[in-house]
Amino acid sequence: MSRLFRRFWGLFPLFFLLLLVAVEGGARQRWSAGDSYFVSKNTIYRPDPLLFWTLHPNQTQTLEGTDYRSNSLGMRDTEPPAKTTRKRVLLLGESSTMGVGVAQEQIYASILGKELGEGWEVLNAGIGAWTLWQSWVRLAWDGERLAPDVVMAYHQANDYLPAGQIDRNNPLYFLPGTDRQIYESRRSWAAVLRILDYSRAWRMVVKSWTQKQSLEASTPTLRVPDPDRRLAWQSMARWCGEHGAQLWVVVPLYDSNHIDPVLRAAAALPGVRLVDLPTLAEEQGQNRKSLLLDGVHPNADGHGWIGKMLAQTLHDAG
């Protein structure tokens, strides 16, 4: 009997593997990759355990008439070159930085690169619906690989989006807590979660669970409450100080509060500098509405103006 028992346990891993293959094969027969996404409209995005979502890597996809070309890191940019003697600017931000609705050659990342000239290179790490916390995670995990000399972060509105809901108009899926809480709960399991993400069965289970949770969710919390925003800015400033990079707080062009208190506090951190786009627009007599597609996202003219303002700011700073 014990001999039979040992033989059974010896074959158990093989049985288990065959069961997993059968389950995964059945899932792929029943569901397409698109079925596993939370927002069918935004198929340009793919899930990520720590960043929550990025662009599909190494693809060019079209959303509402605009092409989005991505690199291996899921950023709307070409592949980051090996670090050279040129100074490197890393742009962190949300859909305004990614350039939603605007051709790649017209977004402010492209304009900034042209304005700065041959001695500089610009990397665009902006992703639609991202928060400051997601950009901080990007810097923490990929910063040494990207090796920026200058980091410019354009964030505000998305930090105040509610968690605990599924928003059908952007790539948000159900976030059961603040961005910081979710990140810290997943950080130790990131490698395992990345492997599981290739499983159609796993993604459908996650989708079913999150949809159920969203229906049962209580009053939602903010994705990045002010204490977490302060922590993210402080962490970014510390990282930049340790790696010899400048950190610039970029006040979004859509801001109507003339720098919210958290941005003002961030700009007062040691070594941190400020680019106040709304004030610059007022000083130049710019009609901000004419620079925005919808009151939030810059249009081509807005991207052109932002790119020139950022280039001028960097030149003036020396």
Res 68: pLDDT: 94
224 or 5, greater pLDDT: 224
Q: Which two three-digit tokens encode residue 20?
A: 């997993």
pLDDT at 154: 98
Contacts (Cβ under 8 Å, ≥6 apart) of 120: 86, 87, 88, 89, 113
CB 88 within 8 A of CB 149: yes
Q: Which of 318, 250, 293, 280 is nearest to 92 (CA)?
A: 250
pLDDT at 218: 58
Is it the case that residue 1 has pLDDT exceeding 70?
no
Q: What is the pLDDT of residue 168?
A: 54
pTM: 0.89
| Domain spans of the chain, in order of start | 40-188+219-317
CATH architecture of 40-188+219-317: 3-Layer(aba) Sandwich (3.40)
Partnered with residue 52 across adjacent β-strands are 48
For 123-182, the DSSP string reads EE---TT--HHHHHHHHHHHHHHH--SEEEEE-SGGGGSBSSS--TTSS----SS-HHHH
- In tens, the pLDDT along 82-114 reads 878 899 999 999 999 999 999 999 999 999 999
CA 180 to chain centre: 14
Which amino acid belongs to residue 231?
Answer: L
